[in-house]
């Protein structure tokens, strides 16, 4: 496990891509978000190609705050249409850099304009946690093996200049 793995590593774990047609109402989008306990949806055009993304913030700021009628407002009126996307082959590290620099919580994954998934900041955080836990287990096992095979070892430390373990 590493951050050099492709985005598809995490997208494959999701069993479906939640999307909504750009002509649907904001009320439909909000209902779909609530039913699926998510904060955004990919928006597609009539050809199924990515047209944008609609988030809770879009709905709150452009519909609720303006007292617009959510059932009469279409998704394409409030969605973010200038969307940065990545491909399934983009590394997780690259995706995280894009999300951080663009201050994004959601990053659509597309293949030739067709939505393949949506990478979230939460997905990356959970992946990094699993990665850190796996590294900690490996280090614990290594130290246990050193102690078992070399009982005379009294001190183990890491050289800060080289990163090497010194016994």
Q: Which helix (H) or strand (E) holds 137?
A: helix 121-149
Architecture label for domain 8-121: Roll (3.10)
Reported as a pLDDT band with limits 50, 70 and 90, residue 91 is: very high
- Total-model pTM: 0.77
Q: What is the mean pLDDT of residues 12-41?
A: 90
Q: What is the pLDDT of residues 27-67, one digit of tens each?
A: 999 999 999 998 999 999 999 999 999 999 999 999 999 99
Q: Which residues contact 12 (CB under 8 A, 6 or more apart)?
A: none
79 has a pLDDT exceeding 70: yes
């Amino acid at each position: 496990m590493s951050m050099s793995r492709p985005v598809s590593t995490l997208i494959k774990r999701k069993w479906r891509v939640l999307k909504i047609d750009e002509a649907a109402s904001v009320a439909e989008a909000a209902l779909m978000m609530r039913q699926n306990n998510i904060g955004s949806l990919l928006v597609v055009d009539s050809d199924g190609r990515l047209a944008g993304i609609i988030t809770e913030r879009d709905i709150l700021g452009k519909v609720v705050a303006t007292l617009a009628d959510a059932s009469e407002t279409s998704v394409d009126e409030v969605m973010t249409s200038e969307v940065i996307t990545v491909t399934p082959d983009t590394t997780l590290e690259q995706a995280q850099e894009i999300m951080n620099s663009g201050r994004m919580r959601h990053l659509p994954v597309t293949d030739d304009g067709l939505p393949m998934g949506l990478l979230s900041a939460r997905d990356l955080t959970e992946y990094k946690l699993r990665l850190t836990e796996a590294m900690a287990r490996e280090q614990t096992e290594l130290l246990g093996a050193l102690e078992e095979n070399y009982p005379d070892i009294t001190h183990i430390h890491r050289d800060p200049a080289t990163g090497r373990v010194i016994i």
